[in-house]
Structure 1
């Protein structure tokens, strides 16, 4: 399905507008206007010869601005509006108020680069119709997660990569520079010292970040604080300045959510013992990591090779350029691309069918959870594509939506900066306004789905609703219910899992379960925790690495509940309209084919390195465990295949 979606999008982007829309004026219509913006973004990405000619120049322009905002090698004049920086050899960044550290963090945030902390704007969990600013720990500090910093050999390789890239960029910027150079492929003493300090700084930040399990837990990350209270945690950073820089004019607040107070305190402590030179190198490196894929330059090859090795790929592996560019356009101009995708790949019949499946499964949840019928009926289902905020069918609306995004066919890097600024501005502009419950968090071609607890909504983009798995008039429905139906049930189950149970029918974070129910839930949930902890993947050292049963609990509960509800819904559908057995597969019953369809949906392979990364960071269990564990937890599966033991390993609802 992913492959089909990409191919459809490639066809859209490589076809002339006049060929696909012969009756539309290509010079004046809004539809032609938005298509041309898509085409320009794609063409700029595909022009590899131009990218090689330009090299790292646009990235270096950004890096010079970062260095100007946060100079490390010289003291500042007293006439500047910020306190003086200590000399690069001194320690102790203990500023208060608006300062160069804050200005640099704010600038990087404006172009989509997270440094020191991450800012998120969204619905307030305790007041979901209001929008609030959250200050969070970094999602990644440099390496994918804190566990990677314990691998001595990996950190050495990472450090060498940083040194080679920064020195390469320095030589690109100033070919006559002898300040930092490589000798026989080894870093000079000065560079080696700086990189060592930079990686040590990153490592300290990483060690201070909460575990993925804690970061996903609303009872841990929802910590309302006043600005003054937040300042006491991290006095070197002025939230007032950042809000004034990024929020809408006139917006004021004295309340933010702090994702992890201990993390902010740790950042403050680390800053007090970090030199300005190290911090400048850190800000530069964060920018390089974020925008390296937008530059074609030999100076960045060590980073691309390192990233490939980190993922278990051949160091010189490259993706077909058109695939890269389809993803780039979808991530930047996704709603425009969505319009042309649904024209090519999503019918009204499919949308109606999707609504039916989700409604059928809702009915099964009502039967299972009779006392929470009110909750289930309040779950909003969004199918296919958004018709508001924006309406992706309307070219005039889309033209207005993206009017401030500047795209040309000759400036790939500039397009990225414009899109980043647009995305940041759109996110921050929500402050001071009611929550827009019509917004979607995924573009239409995405092969995925999600449950949003603050909105109490389940969302199924058209990308996941494609033949033959989802909808095709020629296939029996046990295939659709086994795969897509189970996904639908999975998302519905999230409303009652370890995380969703904290939200009521309006998406408000509250404890609406009785103490007795919570106690019984935790007892049953422990079975899932223990079961999935028993699954392992080979670790980097060859020793078994266990699945985190607590981190994956919500997803494992949702898999079990979704499968059970979808099977019951399909059985009722089968009574009305019996499906036929597939040719060549008559040896399997329809019930068995339902479970084969579910398992085939998840079947796949992962590289060892990818599997390890998922254990550390992914709230989902490995895909093979999602098959084996979920089947073991399905009474219906055990009965369909006549297993000796019919009792499920774990069962919640």
Structure 2
């Protein structure tokens, strides 16, 4: 409920506090001692002062915990872990048997993925049937129906292609699912297609991958198997000249698609993306495929087609239509028919490459690992397989992860109590925003009160505590006894069928889009929900028994960040019920946009050294929503911390223990900021940073720290930073 504005006195200096001697405090003190550089002036560069990368460490620990689970057996897990993740009587033998079967299913998936000897023995041949299906759908003369055949086959295989599609709650009817279409996600960031150097690397990687998967001149022991399986599937093995020509064609098409695609920053405005088109008008408006056939492939048999679909990027589809309808416009600026066929063929190959042999996966390293990730090696195989298992059987895997690493309903209740305090602080912050007029404020308060907080793991759809619910949910997903590729094909069929079942049915607001293992938290603007997953509620981001300056500086910030997304430049355009509509008065909206522009300019002026050694700017427009959420979430959680630490009115029945970390001569306020820095510190390779700043709405980690503390007068006060110092500039940007 909406509370009154409250204030709290400054915290006492550390010398006046007793040492905290709990294992959590000792561990936290060691982390700070090991990784905070006390020789750096925090007022000069707080990123360098507080630098340690924790989110990656959390993911490593999460994966290692599940590796231990899968390398044991079901009874090792059940008998040695105190847990309360059950919605059934453990004496119920049927439920207990289903729980063991669920465990063995996900364990079998993991072991099959880990068996690289069996995967390597088949070479690239498991993908041949999928390539053959796509190739059969593309005759030599591409027409409307043939192009539709190809597009439907790519849909069945979940292949990224020449336009994207999805099924989501309708922004203006949040209780109804809608089909949307948009420009595709291409292999490289849009700007890379104008740069010869990454294109040369991409070209060579295509050639190399085609050689190890479909080359006619390989001399290794698998060539006889390749030839046999290619003949069985009526596939042609490729000569060096054919491989080179296919690489040319793929890049020709992708360069064209990039040229007609919008910039990533232009995809951040939900109003601009909402363009409903009646299904009856699609064929006239975009006549390059048979839309009725395509849409029928997206819905269950017997279900009527929706009355409309949402076209997110109309200008892209206008350009696509001019090229493809009729196909083969003679203008040489358009890709050729053969190039387009090569593009669809190669996209199908690369879609399945992760499930193939080591040689096929290694051939893609220069692009998938080096260029796009800035590293040279894949993650360890056990981490990859647990990640793939999370895609395929994530709710089952999440159950056993929670049993091993989270703690069940008691920990869930503790985390929920922290979220409630931060929400109350948000309500106070809204009430104290003098620039919000009364009508707008009233809707904002209503929206904040209606935000649903979902914590740790799902107990509804499906209930991850109930083996029967999980078994029913994943019933049609089969872990094959023959090959890993067969298992992945079953997963894709299962996932696509799950999507088909949405059209014509009410939105399932109890379903979660991420699994408990995921190291993340998120806000859904259409459902008006925040989700804090068990995977991120782990040390050192979260200890349920940590001093409040640690708890609120990291996990508390994440909660505040997600709550603030309800009022960022995109989220503010949805009302309390998740409907896209304008509920802001013109004057208040004008004031918001002026403050948001300050954030855009501030972050757009941050630079880092790119892979060429030159200064590269952040995109302040692309990252605006996340930067608003960072700054607002930080202000909210700091106020919440002050309330709890000083036993203010919002603390309620949660009194704070007044203790300091042993051996750390920092005030509670300083430790709050340090733990925020610890949350985001990490080192990015220049190549990866260059990709992120053009594709990811989050600022890179260094500036998630720097931007926030520069705007915080509380930070400047805590560290006594002089006005005008790097971390305490005179001009500060504030929205919330």
Structure 2-normalised TM-score? Answer: 0.81
SS of equivalent to 1:29 = helix
| More moved, 622-631 vs 241-250 | 241-250
Instruction: Please tell me whether residue 5 in structure 1 is matched to residue 62 in structure 2.
Output: yes
- Asked if residue 505 in structure 1 is aligned to residue 576 in structure 2, the reply is yes
Paired residues in the alignment total: 621
SS for the counterpart of 1:246 is coil
Which one of the candidate residues 568, 592, 595 is aligned to 1:521?
592
Matched, 1:309 2:370: yes
Taking the aligned partners of 1:542 and 1:297, their CA distance within structure 2 comes to: 33
Equivalence map 1:155-554=2 (5 Å)? 155-170=199-214, 171=216, 173-174=226-227, 187-188=240-241, 190-251=242-303, 252-271=305-324, 272-273=327-328, 274-296=335-357, 298-299=359-360, 301-311=362-372, 313=374, 315=376, 317-347=377-407, 348-370=409-431, 371=441, 372-473=444-545, 475-554=546-625
Counterparts of 2:660 and 2:392, CA distance in 1: 43
Q: Which residue of 2 aligns with 1:81?
A: none
Which of the numbers 658, 661, 666 marks the counterpart of 1:579? 658
Q: CA deviation at 1:361?
A: 1.1
Q: 1:367 to 1:312 in 2, by over 3 A?
A: closer
Separation in structure 1 between the aligned mates of residue 153 and residue 99 of structure 2, nearest angstrom: 34
Separation in 2, partners of 1:297, 1:345: 32
* Structure 1 position 624, deviation (Å): 0.5
Structure-1 separation of matches of 2:549 and 2:505? 45
Quick one: higher RCO (CA 8 Å, sep 6+), 1 or 2?
2
In 1, Cα distance between equivalents of 2:350 and 2:367:
12
Match of residue 652 from structure 2: none
Q: Secondary structure at 1:582's aligned position in 2?
A: coil
CA distance 1:533–1:71, shift in 2 (3 Å): same
Do 1:443 and 1:461's aligned partners in 2 also have CA atoms closer than 8 Å? Answer: yes
- Contact 1:71 1:280 survives alignment (8 Å): no
Could you tell me which of 77, 97, 121 is aligned with 1:29?
97
- How many Å separate the matches in 2 of 1:30 and 1:312? 40
Contact 1:161 1:306 in 2 (8 A): yes
Q: How much does 1:280 deviate? A: 2.4
Alpha-carbon separation, structure 1, partners of 2:260 and 2:513: 29
Alignment equivalent of 1:65, drawn from 133, 141, 159: 133
CA contact (8 A) 1:534 1:547 kept: yes
SS of residue paired to 1:433 = coil
8 Å Cα contact 1:482/1:595 also seen in 2:
yes
Q: Note closer, same or farther for the CA distance 1:447–1:194 as it changes in structure 2 (3 Å cut).
A: closer
Structure 2: runs of 5+ lacking an equivalent: 1-57, 80-89, 217-222, 329-334, 432-440, 648-655
Distance 2:586 2:207 in 1: 55
- Structure-2 change in CA distance of 1:57 and 1:649 (3 Å): same
Cα offset for 1:209?
1.4
- The offset of 1:456, in angstroms, is 0.6
- Aligned pair 1:153/2:197, yes or no? yes
Q: Of 116, 119, 130, which residue of structure 2 is paired with 1:48? A: 116
Cα distance in 2 between the residues matched to 1:542 and 1:228: 53
Match of 2:28 in 1: none
SS of the counterpart of 1:464? coil
Does structure 2 conserve the Cα–Cα contact (< 8 Å) formed by 1:119 and 1:134? yes
Which whole-Å CA distance do the structure 1 matches of 2:568 and 2:108 have between them? 44
Contact kept, 8 Å, 2:374 with 2:686, in 1: the verdict is no
Farther off after superposition, 637-646 or 150-159:
637-646
TM-score, length-normalised on structure 1?
0.91
- Gaps (5+ residues) in structure 1? 73-84, 87-92
Residues 455, 614 of structure 1: alpha-carbon distance in 2 compared, 3 angstrom cutoff: same
In the alignment, the residues of structure 2 paired with residue 279 and residue 360 of structure 1 have an alpha-carbon distance, to the nearest angstrom, of 55
Query: What residue in structure 2 maps to residue 89 of structure 1?
Result: none
Cα distance, 1:304 vs structure 2: 2.9
Note the alpha carbon deviations across 1:101-139, whole angstroms, 9 max, x for none. Answer: 112211221222121111110100001011100011112
Equivalent residue in structure 1 for 2:171, among 117, 125, 128 = 125
Contact kept? 1:446, 1:463, Cα under 8 Å: yes
Displacement of 1:191: 4.0
- CA deviation string 1:628-652 (max 9, x = no partner): 1100111211111122237661111
Q: Hey, what's the Cα distance between the residues in 1 that align with 2:94 and 2:110?
A: 18
CA contact (8 A) 2:95 2:468 kept: no
Q: Please name the residue that 2:639 is paired with.
A: 568
Q: Structure 1 residues 167 and 580, CA, compared in 2 at 3 Å: closer, same or farther?
A: same
Indicate the residue corresponding to 1:82 in structure 2: none
In the aligned structure 1, how far is the partner of 2:583 from the partner of 2:427? Answer: 18
SS at match of 2:646: helix
Q: Distance in 1 between matches of 2:633 and 2:339?
A: 50
- SS of 1:329's equivalent? helix
Q: How big is the shift at 1:296?
A: 0.2
Partners of 2:483 and 2:266 lie apart in 1 by 41
Residue 84 of structure 2 corresponds to residue 15 of structure 1: no
Residue-by-residue CA offset, 1:60-100 (whole Å, 9 max, x unaligned): 1111111111133xxxxxxxxxxxx25xxxxxx5x3xxx12
Q: Is the alpha carbon distance of 1:28 and 1:511 closer, same or farther for their aligned partners in structure 2, counting shifts above 3 Å?
A: closer
Alpha-carbon spacing, 1:360–1:299, altered in 2? closer, same or farther (3 Å): closer
